[in-house]
Amino acid sequence: MSQDVYCVARTDDQAQEIIEKIQKMGIGPDAFTVVAKPEEVDRAVYRASEEARNAASGAVGGTIIGLLFGGAVLSTMGFAGIPGLFEAILLLACAALGGAMFGAIAGSTGLFAKKRIPKPLERHFEEEISQGGVLLSIQVGSVAERDRLIGTMNALGVADVHYAGEQAA
């Protein structure tokens, strides 16, 4: 399960030191998001992969709704209204496909998306950045890796560390 850790470095030098230390832990550069402008905090909060995940979730939900809708249509038609098994399967498939397409479109807009961090924490990050701080968002693969990362940040003297919307240190 993917975990996100957020920290605010007081200076650019401290941010660079944190990044170098974390890369020595084996975390690649693609796991980092660095934000130096308050209006870019959304970039750290919403990752591009979230859009794909939201679209996939919408497609699955839409497929289920489409199948239920197709089943309801078949049940109202009755046996006499259905010409054959192929037509019944075709009706269900078309309803599922339509539902999947609608769900993917609705899901990719972020309609059902949940922010990774609460709004007050997002505002806190914006304030810290406007006062000269640098927000680092690091994505790790497990809780153990997250805890190791937080320990490293604490050893570097970083006090403003958060994960999953909770204060970590």
Domains of the chain: 3-46+117-167 (3.30.70), 49-108 (no CATH)
Three-state secondary structure of 5-31 = EEEEECCHHHHHHHHHHHHHCCCCHHH
Mean pLDDT per 10-residue run, the chain (169 residues)?
81 86 84 80 63 79 91 84 84 90 82 68 86 86 85 84 59
Q: What is the pTM of this model?
A: 0.59
Write the Ramachandran bin of 78: left for phi over 0, alpha for psi from -120 to 50, otherwise beta. left
Torsion sign, CA atoms 8, 9, 12, 16: negative
